[in-house]
């Protein structure tokens, strides 16, 4: 603890050197964001503050935690919603105080206030970073998962929803009944076709309750897709110390991030939006080419690095990419196996993008933990790796390195590194996936490929994929470092 004061609005006059711009007009709340984690606070919130400084508008943000996290709510509100972004790059550390966050709520404790805002016509955007599991989707159909515990609760108690589909449906229903135009629903999650995926989940949930409401949502509510990119690790005491040193104020909830950022957005906002394009966001008709490139090139190799590192003992991404055979493996994977699957605009230089990613991974100041990236593999593996594998096999092309990445995840599920160090499997399917993981490679593959929520049956039954997956598991079981050395080039 420090005896220096905490961040607060009354202290802003003394922090001009650490703000995005001094000409700040306190805005009304125009955006409600579900899932007020580190990524949102280092990404959308920063873009939004910059957009208000550039072009005005009432786009203040109310952030909402959906897991009953009163600790985060209380810490941020004790600082009047202020927090610092600690940007770590090769040139050093930059600390910036962000003011766009006006209020923080915690569900279910603040349900009444949340719905007061959600039905307010001044709120024109509801954005989300809740990860794919927060959409409560049946991954096989894309519709809402009616067996999901939270969905079951919300359907029985539609006036007291706890899930994203339940909250959005209830709020949109109230706006329709009041004659208030709907807000735009803006997904910022790493999920293919994230806007369309969220719309299907919400509309299918609404259809169980009210067919007419579902039709109204389908025809009147915009769900633009986005592609977001910025590496944002978990907060540590190092960020708190950096904020204290730079600001001379205590910040309990700073956010670390890299200098790089990217945001590509489908420009469909009937109720209006901040001038994000004025501050670096790309507003496009179709986000899909950018999304696929990021999912496969960045997210796919991030997961590859994470699972191989968890087995080999590398604790951070910069440490992993600093191992020459692993860097060579990832470089070759992006160049020879991933890049050829992409259909991007001529202005998109895929090889330059590859080189930029490798440089970002090597940022020694960031310390992005491999354990953080390894979370929720059952949700991440299909879009990040399996989709690329399917594209390669459909074209009759090799998949050796991609298969090694999937095999690393399967072996990772045993719960210990090659040296015996144990780690936690943090995954919504952890109980099922990590229970009695077979040691025999063929038995392991037979067991895991039967998990249809992860592996599509057509892929799971493909002889080439199965055979190469067994070979890759055998390699990794003899040691991840040895497997990396063999498959690197």
Tell me the torsion sign for CA atoms 32, 35, 37, 39. Answer: negative
Assess contact for 417 and 370: CB atoms under 8 A: no
pLDDT reported for residue 1? 45
Q: Which helix (H) or strand (E) holds 150?
A: helix 149-156
Region of 106 on the Ramachandran plot (φ > 0 left; ψ -120 to 50 alpha; else beta):
beta
pLDDT reported for residue 488? 65
Contacts by residues 152-158 (CB-CB < 8 Å, ≥ 24 positions apart): 154/205, 155/205, 155/208, 155/209, 158/209
pLDDT reported for residue 298? 96
- Note the pTM of the prediction, 2 decimals: 0.85
Task: Calculate what percentage of the chain has a pLDDT beyond 90.
Answer: 92
**Which regions of the chain are under pLDDT 50?**
1
CATH class of 288-487: mainly alpha
Read out DSSP for 342-380?
----TT--HHHHHHHHHHHHT-TTT--BHHHHTTTHHHH
pLDDT reported for residue 68? 84
Per-residue pLDDT tens over the stretch 315-354: 999 999 999 999 999 999 999 999 999 999 898 999 999 9
The residues facing 34 across adjacent strands are 64, 128
Query: What are the start and end residues of each CATH 1.10.1040.10 domain in the chain?
Result: 288-487
Of the candidates 280, 310, 304, 282, the residue with the CA atom closest to the CA atom of residue 420: 310
Q: How far apart are CA 76 and CA 101, in angstroms?
A: 9
Q: Cα 291 from chain centroid?
A: 12
Of the candidates 235, 227, 275, the residue with the CA atom closest to the CA atom of residue 251: 235
Q: Which helix (H) or strand (E) holds 176?
A: helix 164-178
Q: How far apart are CA 447 and CA 406, in angstroms?
A: 14
CB contact set of 177 (below 8 Å; sequence gap of 6+)? none
Query: What are the start and end residues of each CATH 3.40.50.720 domain in the chain?
Result: 9-284
Neighbouring CB atoms inside 10 A of 224's CB total 22
Tell me the torsion sign for CA atoms 122, 221, 130, 260. Answer: negative
CATH 2.40.10.10 fits 9-284, yes or no: no
Q: Integer distance in angstroms from the first to the last C-alpha of the chain?
A: 50
Neighbouring CB atoms inside 10 A of 61's CB total 28
Interior angle at CA 39, CA 371 and CA 314, nearest 5:
20
pLDDT reported for residue 489? 60
Q: Which helix (H) or strand (E) holds 326?
A: helix 324-332
Q: What is the edge-to-edge ordering of all strands in the sheet holding 60-65? A: 101-106, 60-65, 29-34, 125-128, 184-187
SS3 86: strand
Phi, psi of 18 (to 5 degrees): -120, 25
Q: How far apart are CA 443 and CA 466, in angstroms?
A: 11
Of the candidates 484, 464, 210, the residue with the CA atom closest to the CA atom of residue 333: 484
């Amino acid at each position: 603890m420090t005896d220096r004061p905490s961040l607060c609005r009354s202290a802003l006059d003394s922090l001009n050197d650490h703000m995005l711009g001094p000409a700040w007009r306190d805005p009304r709340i125009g955006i409600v964001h579900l899932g007020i984690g580190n990524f949102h606070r280092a990404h959308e919130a920063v873009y939004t503050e910059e957009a208000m400084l550039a072009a005005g508008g009432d786009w203040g943000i109310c952030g909402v935690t959906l897991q009953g996290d009163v600790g985060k709510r209380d810490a941020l509100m004790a600082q009047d919603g202020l927090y610092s972004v600690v940007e770590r790059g090769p040139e050093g550390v930059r600390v910036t105080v962000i003011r766009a966050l006006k209020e923080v709520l915690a569900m279910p404790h603040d349900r009444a206030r949340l719905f007061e805002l959600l039905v307010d016509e001044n709120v024109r955007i509801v954005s989300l970073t809740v990860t794919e599991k927060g959409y409560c989707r049946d991954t096989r159909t894309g519709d809402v998962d009616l067996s999901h515990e939270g969905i079951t609760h919300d359907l029985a108690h539609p006036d007291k929803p706890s899930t994203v589909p339940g909250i959005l449906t209830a709020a949109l229903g109230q706006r329709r009944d009041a004659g208030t135009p709907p807000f735009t629903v803006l997904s910022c999650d790493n999920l293919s076709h994230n806007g369309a995926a969220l719309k299907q989940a919400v509309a299918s949930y609404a259809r169980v309750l009210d067919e007419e409401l579902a039709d109204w949502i389908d025809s009147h509510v915009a769900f633009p897709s986005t592609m977001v990119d910025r590496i944002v690790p978990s907060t540590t005491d190092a960020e708190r110390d950096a904020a204290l040193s730079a600001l001379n104020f205590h910040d309990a909830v700073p956010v670390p991030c890299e200098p790089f950022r990217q945001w590509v957005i489908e420009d469909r906002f009937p109720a209006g939006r901040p001038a994000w394009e004025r501050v670096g966001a790309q507003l496009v008709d179709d986000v899909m080419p950018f999304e696929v490139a990021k999912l496969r090139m960045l997210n796919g190799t991030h997961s590859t690095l994470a699972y191989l590192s968890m087995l080999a003992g590398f604790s951070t991404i910069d440490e992993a990419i600093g191992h020459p055979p692993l860097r060579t493996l990832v470089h070759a994977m992006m160049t020879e196996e991933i890049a050829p699957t992409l259909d991007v605009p001529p202005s998109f230089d895929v090889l330059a993008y590859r080189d930029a990613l490798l440089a970002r991974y090597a940022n020694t100041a960031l310390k992005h933990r491999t354990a953080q990236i390894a979370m929720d593999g059952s949700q991440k593996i299909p879009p990040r790796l399996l989709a690329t594998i399917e594209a390669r096999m459909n074209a009759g092309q090799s998949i050796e390195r991609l298969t090694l990445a999937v095999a690393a995840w399967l072996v990772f599920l045993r719960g210990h590194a090659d040296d015996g160090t144990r780690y936690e499997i943090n995954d919504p399917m952890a109980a099922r996936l990590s229970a009695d993981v077979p040691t025999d490679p063929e038995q392991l593959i037979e067991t895991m490929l039967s998990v249809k929520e992860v592996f599509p049956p057509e892929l799971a039954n493909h002889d080439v994929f199965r055979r190469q997956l067994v070979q890759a598991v055998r390699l990794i079981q003899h040691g991840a470092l040895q497997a990396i050395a063999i498959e690197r080039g």
